Structure 1
Amino acid sequence: MRRVIQLLFLTLATLTAASGHASLLDSLAPETKTFLPVEEAFPLSVETAPGTVTAHWTNPDGYYLYQHRIYIKQGDNKLSPVSWSKDGKEKFDEAFGDIVAYYGDLDAVFDTSGLAPGDATLWYQGCADAGLCYPPQKYPLTLLAATAANTEQAAPVTGQDNFFSGRSAIAVAGLFFLLGLGLTFTPCVLPMVPILTSVVLGQKNTSPLRGFLLSSVYVLGMAITYAAAGLAVGLLGAGANIQAWMQDPVILSVFAVFFVLLALAMFGLYELQLPAGLRNRLNNVSQKQQGGHFVSVFIIGVLSALVVSPCVSAPLAGALAYLSTTGDAVLGGTALLAMGLGMGTPLIILGTTGASVLPKAGMWMNRIKYLFGFMLIGVAIWLVGRILPEALVLALWGALAAAAGIAAGALSSAQGNSQKVLKVLGLLLFIYGVIAIAGAVKGHTDPFNPLGDNATAGHESPFYQTDSVAEVMDLIRTAQQPVMLDLYADWCISCRVMEKEIFATEEAQQALSGYHWVQLDLTDNTQEQRDFLQQQAVFGPPTVLFFTPGSEAASGRIVGEREREDFLREAGQLTPGH
């Protein structure tokens, strides 16, 4: 028994010694370090939204990310975050020297509105405090097109945006009213004059009060239409381009025919009236409540605002850009209502005083009706001029002038001073009409210089022309030089003016030779084109965008029609090398 106990003690001592020896060896051996795989060291989740990418990391203790190694890359474009969820820690790194490191949870937000929608890559790199530096990591992304809510950062801020921003609602409404007054004598409002005057003069026994009421209802219909557009812009942004929808060739043709029919009624060829039974009922109602006719005048005002006024001037485009970024539908509606009232104030004055200063009876009435009839035909030509060949439009203007000249007595004998004056005016109109038709036959297009050297035959555009947004974006991405993108549409009168007066000149082509000239045709107003306009916070042509390869240059846009000198001066500030 004693020998068994001794054997047990001996065995226990041996095991204890062996254990102690092993512990000593373990303490003398070098420590083995373990590191997490990269996906566990820097767990990443990404949220992609229109115009924005947010990257979120949840780094465990002892692991950090390099600030300068976090970016998005698309082609040659490299985009750094615009904001971080917290401040980084400054430290010295053996690989990169002095750096900013992020430990723990981190959110990095990227503004991708300046990049093209499509594929891109998120790059990031980090290290472990224990001494391991991981290789750069990449995460594939699909960028979404920016919406109007975030294109304020994507698009350069124009002077008009700065002018309107930061003001009270009352001040904004007042400024928009003044803007409307300023737009009164532009192509936006002038076509409304013959429509309004025909409405007022078409009434019997028109007193100043009735002239005021009729013109006020007309202007109210126009202003409320603009207010509805302001509501839509405030809610939906640049995508709510209602007037662009109204530029379909079929719609333009229908309204042109409508104005011609109105003109024929002014010439006395027939009388526009409802069926006798319905007319009698309306007369009975109108005796009890005056206002049945005001409904039709109101509707004409609405249609005039939508169809006759598709132009986008520089201040109006800037105002719409400002409203689209507010997201305030009430402000948008109020502002454009004020603008519509400003545009209509001179029309109300015309409708009121015009009715009072004219004589009450006489042959003058038929002459005035003829005058307004020709003016209504002019509106019809102005409408279809957006979709017809320019030479044909010149021929139509010539035919209208010749017909007006004949109606004024150009080919008739004149008796009395008034008829002699009309005959002289008629001869001038007739001669101009013949010259314009002759110029159109030769291919000329300019109504102000019908025999000038501006024939369209053989004219080669200086632009590379396309209606594909995808092709335009591809050209911008692959271009080896900056791109000047002209947004054009056949129904945009100002676009045609700028094409002739600016882009076709040798002066402009030499001054902007550092750019690759591209023209995007928006005539068809496709969904792809509307999305592009919304992404760029553009409300319509004429607009010229200036791109560096891959992204839009700062302040690189000119909105609205310009004189040649003004355009070249503004563009010169963006020209490469300036």
Structure 2
Amino acid sequence: MLVALISAFLGGLILNLMPCVFPIISLKAFGLARQGGDLKRMRQEGVAFFAGTLLAMLALAAALIALRASGQAVGWGFQLQSPLVVALLALVLLGSALNLAGMFEFGLSVQRLGQAADGKGGLLGAGLTGALAVVVATPCAGPFMAGAIGFALVQPPLAALEVFAALGAGVAAPFTLLSFSPALARRLPRPGAWMTTLKQALAFPMLAAAAWLLWVLAQQTGSTGLAVMLGCALLLASTCWIYGIAQRRSMTGRPAERLYGLTLLGLASIAALCASPGGALRKPHTPAQAQAQASSRPLESKPVPWSPEAVARERAARHPVFVDFSAEWCLTCKVNEKAVLSTSAFKAAIARTGTTYMVADSTNYDPRIEQAMMALGRSGLPLYLVYPAKGGDPVVLPQVLDTATVLTAMEAASGKKV
């Protein structure tokens, strides 16, 4: 248990360096700079950020544990297997980017209440920033996380929540500790016009994250779902623009009721498009279709779709098998694919050792994939297995691959020199 807690905390620390979390973490950095050296205020926001991160992580973990207890085969990042969740998250990031760019202001009434109550209103924003950091962190998996999460999901619920709490604490720790640093407070510049420029610049990482989620959605739903989502994005942008005009009218005392009505109509239209029963966002590709897409990757030794039957057949023929459990929303998977699995050295090793290369694509939900991972005590992606030609248990490779490790594992599994 102690090893799992330490591993989860270290995994959370490393998540701060992952590109999927950077846009949200940059918002927290802006929040610290905004305080202009006010150490008391920085500490308050640091605690709020920590609380938001921890509560969101525990809520996500509780949902995961409850689903598994009910018999559902789901793993870490399960919510991103739903095109609807991916679409909503993309819209949240797009809305955040438009807010940072200055198209509208979020929570003006809360800010006014905060000013009347010694500035405590902004703590809600810090907490929500922490919660959003947890949501966007789930596609990323790094060192230490896989073993800790796999251990947690075979423990009683209370022990599992302790491990996930350690993971959330690791995500929140760096900026919470910075917020308690007097040395940092002394070095921060005073608030001024430069903050408007910085705030607008931070919109671009948010837009990049939203664009990435749109690409993920296209892999899940095809061109029809992407077209619906682009329409929702355009509708959201126009709604935010109208809302910004309404805010400016209200601040000058002019009537803005009709504009607020149009804002509500725009939001209702977006909700109707996303939640439409039988709509494009509720019709993901089947697992077979998703795996067929994986088999078309530009490799000389093309992978074949994974299935338990295919693995058993290849093992019966005494062929070594390399299995790549991945998903289009898993950034670590994509990095490994580019750095190792698409290299000429890997292709040559596959051909020379006679290894069968399989891809278990978890972009959309496939209970067989989740059950296979659960049987190995694993939950998060990526997962790489090498089955020896002579039989026996598979070798589990590290989540962050390097060419030498992969080639050595295939050489050992085949008994042939790579």
Note the 1:412-451 alignment, pairs <5 A. none
Query: Deviation at 1:231?
Result: 5.8
Q: Residues 201-228 of structure 1, C-alpha deviation per residue, up to 9 Å, x if partnerless?
A: 5x67772222222233223222333345
1:483 to 321, 325, 333: 321
Q: In structure 2, what is the Cα distance between the partners aligned to 1:233 and 1:323?
A: 11
1:465 to 301, 304, 308: 304
Change (3 A) 1:514 1:288: same
Question: Runs of 5+ in structure 1 lacking a partner?
Answer: 1-166, 390-456
The residue aligned with 1:318 is: 147
The residue aligned with 1:528 is: 368
Structure with the largest fraction of strand = 1
Note the 1:94-109 alignment, pairs <5 A. none
Q: Residues 83-142 of structure 1, C-alpha deviation per residue, up to 9 Å, x if partnerless?
A: xxxxxxxxxxxxxxxxxxxxxxxxxxxxxxxxxxxxxxxxxxxxxxxxxxxxxxxxxxxx
1:374 to 187, 199, 204: 204
Does residue 165 of structure 2 align to residue 306 of structure 1?
no
Q: Residues 183-213 of structure 1, C-alpha deviation per residue, up to 9 Å, x if partnerless?
A: 4434464343223234555x67772222222
The residue aligned with 1:196 is: 28
| Conserved 8 A contact 1:492-1:541 | yes
- Aligned residue type for 2:9: F
| Conserved 8 A contact 2:75-2:379 | yes
2:347 to 488, 498, 509: 509
Aligned to 1:554, the other structure's residue is in SS state coil
Aligned to 2:144, the other structure's residue is in SS state helix
Q: In structure 2, what is the Cα distance between the partners aligned to 1:178 and 1:487?
A: 23
Q: In structure 1, what is the Cα distance between the partners aligned to 2:145 and 2:374?
A: 16
Aligned to 2:189, the other structure's residue is in SS state coil
| Conserved 8 A contact 2:38-2:185 | yes
Q: Residues 385-410 of structure 1, C-alpha deviation per residue, up to 9 Å, x if partnerless?
A: 44458xxxxxxxxxxxxxxxxxxxxx
Q: In structure 1, what is the Cα distance between the partners aligned to 2:179 and 2:205?
A: 16
Provide the aligned length of Structure 1 versus Structure 2: 335
The residue aligned with 2:170 is: 342
1:261 to 95, 104, 107: 95
Query: Deviation at 1:305?
Result: 0.8
Change (3 A) 1:269 1:224: closer
| Conserved 8 A contact 2:23-2:202 | no
The residue aligned with 1:223 is: 54
Q: In structure 1, what is the Cα distance between the partners aligned to 2:163 and 2:411?
A: 33
Does residue 83 of structure 2 align to residue 249 of structure 1?
yes
The residue aligned with 1:38 is: none
1:208 to 36, 39, 50: 39
Change (3 A) 1:380 1:351: farther
- Aligned residue type for 1:334: E
The residue aligned with 2:107 is: 273
| Conserved 8 A contact 2:318-2:390 | no
Q: Residues 405-453 of structure 1, C-alpha deviation per residue, up to 9 Å, x if partnerless?
A: xxxxxxxxxxxxxxxxxxxxxxxxxxxxxxxxxxxxxxxxxxxxxxxxx
Q: In structure 2, what is the Cα distance between the partners aligned to 1:269 and 1:570?
A: 53
The structure number with the bigger radius of gyration is 1
Does residue 359 of structure 2 align to residue 519 of structure 1?
yes
| Conserved 8 A contact 2:149-2:378 | no
The residue aligned with 1:406 is: none
Change (3 A) 1:477 1:177: closer
Aligned to 2:153, the other structure's residue is in SS state helix
The residue aligned with 2:407 is: 568
Query: Deviation at 1:372?
Result: 1.5
Aligned to 1:376, the other structure's residue is in SS state helix
Change (3 A) 1:186 1:264: closer
| Conserved 8 A contact 2:36-2:185 | no
Q: In structure 2, what is the Cα distance between the partners aligned to 1:465 and 1:381?
A: 29
Q: In structure 2, what is the Cα distance between the partners aligned to 1:544 and 1:175?
A: 19
Q: In structure 1, what is the Cα distance between the partners aligned to 2:22 and 2:8?
A: 19
| Conserved 8 A contact 1:246-1:252 | yes
| Conserved 8 A contact 2:140-2:332 | yes
Aligned to 1:574, the other structure's residue is in SS state helix
Q: In structure 1, what is the Cα distance between the partners aligned to 2:174 and 2:371?
A: 36
Change (3 A) 1:225 1:469: farther
- Aligned residue type for 1:324: L
TM-score of the aligned structures, taking structure 2 as reference length: 0.67
Change (3 A) 1:569 1:388: farther
Q: In structure 2, what is the Cα distance between the partners aligned to 1:258 and 1:175?
A: 31
Query: Deviation at 1:541?
Result: 2.5
Query: Deviation at 1:508?
Result: 1.5
Q: In structure 2, what is the Cα distance between the partners aligned to 1:172 and 1:493?
A: 23
| Conserved 8 A contact 2:300-2:347 | no
Q: In structure 1, what is the Cα distance between the partners aligned to 2:179 and 2:81?
A: 28
Does residue 387 of structure 2 align to residue 557 of structure 1?
no
| Conserved 8 A contact 1:229-1:333 | no
Query: Deviation at 1:556?
Result: 1.4
Q: Residues 440-498 of structure 1, C-alpha deviation per residue, up to 9 Å, x if partnerless?
A: xxxxxxxxxxxxxxxxx9934633332x6355445446544122111121112222222
Q: In structure 2, what is the Cα distance between the partners aligned to 1:458 and 1:177?
A: 35
Does residue 188 of structure 2 align to residue 358 of structure 1?
yes
% identity of equivalent residues: 20
Question: Runs of 5+ in structure 2 lacking a partner?
Answer: 220-295
Change (3 A) 1:175 1:540: closer
| Conserved 8 A contact 2:142-2:332 | no
Change (3 A) 1:283 1:345: same
Aligned to 2:301, the other structure's residue is in SS state coil
Aligned to 2:328, the other structure's residue is in SS state coil
Q: In structure 2, what is the Cα distance between the partners aligned to 1:536 and 1:329?
A: 19
Change (3 A) 1:246 1:574: same
| Conserved 8 A contact 1:514-1:576 | no
| Conserved 8 A contact 1:234-1:323 | no
Q: In structure 1, what is the Cα distance between the partners aligned to 2:172 and 2:375?
A: 32
- Aligned residue type for 1:531: Q
Change (3 A) 1:476 1:538: farther
Change (3 A) 1:486 1:232: same
| Conserved 8 A contact 1:177-1:341 | yes
The residue aligned with 1:328 is: 156
Q: In structure 2, what is the Cα distance between the partners aligned to 1:270 and 1:212?
A: 28
